[in-house]
Amino acid sequence: MRSDGGTANGKEKAMTGRWLAVMLLAGQVAFGALLGAPAPAVAQGFPKSVSIASGERAGERILRVGLGRSVVVDVAEDVADVLVSEPEIANATVRSRNRIYVVGSKAGQASVVLFGTTGREIASFSVRVEPDTSDLNAIIRKLMPNTDIRADSLNGSVVLTGTAQSTGDAQKAADLAARFLAQSGGSGSQDSSTAVLNMITVGGKDQIQLKVTVAEVDRSVIKQLGVTMSGTLSSGSFGFGIANAASFPVNTGITSQGNLLGGFSSGGSSFSAQLRALQRDGVIRTLAEPTLTAISGENASFIAGGEFPIPVSYDNDKIGVEFKQFGVGLDFTPVVLNEGNVSLRIKTEVSELSDEGAVTTGGITIPAIKVRRAESTVELPSGGTLVMAGLLKESYRQTLSGVPGLMQIPVLGALFKSRDFLRQQTELVVFVTPYVVKPVAQSALARPDSNFAPASDGETIFFNQLNRVFNTAGAPVPGSYQGQVGFIYE
């Protein structure tokens, strides 16, 4: 019995010791709170109530008030009046002899002076009104739970810190902060987008390789058939001429081509006939595939081509020129979004020199530029291909020229007329393919000239070889298979 009683007394003592420890710990926590222990992070440093000692000055304390929020200020002495230096920033109201309310109206800083019943200054302090970002932090945690992004206020702006898994999450947080400032008015006179200081670190930035394919096929058909006649007849002071050449020919580059059938010339009179019979079919294929790699969120540009001079000034017999680029150009800014999607702002251009539209001035011919350009913003998954732009164009032109009256004669009228025909078809398509890539070992890559070796003189002369031919290391050996090949089922 004594042993049981001793055991019971031991348990009671242990329980009593635990309760005392808990009470002491609670007392320490409460005492620490009374001494001014730091508030939780969720509070954002905006207190709900403060106490002002008698004789406290502005340089000794800065009271932070949330925008659109209020703070209760308890004063040791009786307060009769309160003065605010910037009423549009903060508003202070005396509610009782020892209590005033301070409400934040606009982001900024103001001074508050308290006066007693005798008109003497009791205390003064500074008020800093800033946006309360606790709601913004709650929204960020709710929408992006896998990120560690924190929003803090600073002089009416929002500072974003922490880490994000992708550039898309960082951009979403910045957009939320800008919208938050626009609705709360915390940015003041600044633009809400510029009042957001984005200091988010993106862990493991992705790299995007963009492949753009510009494919164009241009097909043209030209036909010319007919007889062109020209002649002049003069006798003394009288004369006239005849010609059935087209005044506005369709095929300007080949109008002078033809075979002379015959003619005569006598004195001041002459006559000639020219047969024009031509058919030309042409196909032009243009293929450009620029490839460029950039970090997510950064801009990259690429151009392969040349520059040609354009006269821009003339001074003291000296011609000033300016160079203009032409060739294959690519400019894009990628942003990796969630789930492997890529947002692209892309501009691609393929240009070449052309005689069509060329200008000749001062004996200098300035060529024109034929341009195929596309600029857009698209969103697509890694490895997916999208047709960003396309063009289908068809032109048809035909002219008939001849001697009036004679060209309408059946059968024989073909000798007095000429026909020009042109048909041109163009199809242009621009493909865009982004890839989210990572660096690899150099041994896994091969250069285009890795296996190139010039041929010897004997190989070039006798075998028409321009370079030596070697077997690639690791290439599959061609083989032949005999017998039954496939699956066997029992």
- Following DSSP, what letter does each residue of 443-468 receive, concatenated? GG---TTTT--BPPHHHHHHH--SB-
Is residue 460 one of the residues assigned to a domain?
A: no
CA Rg, the chain, in Å? 44
Instruction: Identify the domain containing residue 176 by its residue range.
Output: 134-202
| Same domain for 275 and 387 | yes
Overall domain count for the chain: 3
Residues 164 and 297 in one domain: no
Q: Could you report the average pLDDT of every consecutive run of 10 residues in the chain (490 residues)? A: 41 43 38 34 63 67 82 87 90 88 87 87 86 86 87 83 82 87 64 72 80 87 76 64 53 49 61 73 84 87 86 79 87 81 87 84 81 88 86 83 76 75 86 87 81 86 82 61 58
Verify that 304 and 419 share a domain, yes or no: yes
Residue 11 lies in a domain: no
Residue 131: strand pairing partners: none
Beta pairing class for 196-198 and 157-164? parallel
pLDDT at 9: 44
Closest by CA to 333, choosing from 138, 167, 119, is 167
Q: Tokens at residue 261, please?
A: 């059938």
CA distance 42 to 112: 27
- Evaluate whether residue 329 is within a structural domain: yes
Residues 284 and 185 in one domain: no
Question: By three-state DSSP, how is residue 157 classified?
Answer: strand
User: For position 131, what pLDDT does the model report?
Assistant: 82
Give me the pLDDT at residue 267, please. Answer: 61
Angle at alpha carbon of residue 120, lines to 117 and 126, rounded to 5°: 105
User: Is residue 419, in this structure, part of any structural domain at all?
Assistant: yes
Q: Which of 162, 186, 202 is the last residue of a domain?
A: 202
If asked whether residues 332 and 405 sit together in one domain, one would say yes
Q: Is residue 457 part of a domain?
A: no
Tell me what pLDDT residue 53 has: 74
Whether 360 and 366 have beta carbons less than 8 Å apart is answered as yes
Q: Is residue 5 part of a domain?
A: no
Same domain (yes/no): 345, 261: yes
Do the domain assignments include residue 336? Answer: yes
